[in-house]
Amino acid sequence: MTTTVLVMALTACGSTEWGFPYRPNIQQGNWITAEQVARLETGMTREQVRFLLGTPTLQDIFRSDRWDYPYYSKPGYGEPETRRFSVWFEGDHLVRWEGDSQPDRQPFQKTDTGADAREPVSEQTPTSSGAPVEPLR
């Protein structure tokens, strides 16, 4: 009886990410998506870039015109992943950016949610009387 319980307990610990010994996932830095990069435009202010990408992980006091957004992920069991992304300013305005290709989704988003495509939204807003209204613009 005791042996059976012990075997079941150890088997439960060995499944999925709970290997023996346990190794936690380690994530450090800024997670930036390809959508965020696509929304960057030259001429944006520092505050607009900070709103879009988040606070930079690295700000060099000797080069205040450059913000760096590194990302490092080391799964408990797997190969580490490193990405870099940098933006440059002249004065208060964004002039250029470069870095590694970024993922399409946030880490908490699944690749397939299983949800059906949404129905197209009507251009007209219904009224309580049922009378047609002008399209929204």
H/E segment holding residue 6: helix 2-13
CA–CA dist 28, 73 (Å, integer): 6
Query: To the nearest whole percent, how much of the chain has pLDDT over 90?
Result: 27
**107 vs 96: which has the higher pLDDT:** 96
H/E segment holding residue 35: helix 34-38
Residue 67 in any domain: the answer is: yes
Q: How many domains does the chain have?
A: 1
Look at residue 31 in the predicted model and tell me its pLDDT: 86
Residue 89 token pair: 């300013």
**CATH number where 67 lies:** 3.30.1450
Residue 90 in any domain: the answer is: yes
SS3 68: strand
Look at residue 122 in the predicted model and tell me its pLDDT: 45
Reported as a single tens digit per residue, the pLDDT across 12-66 is 555 455 567 888 888 888 888 889 999 999 999 999 999 999 998 877 788 889 9
Provide the residue range defining the domain that includes 74.
Answer: 13-99
Residue 23 in any domain: the answer is: yes
Residue 48 in any domain: the answer is: yes
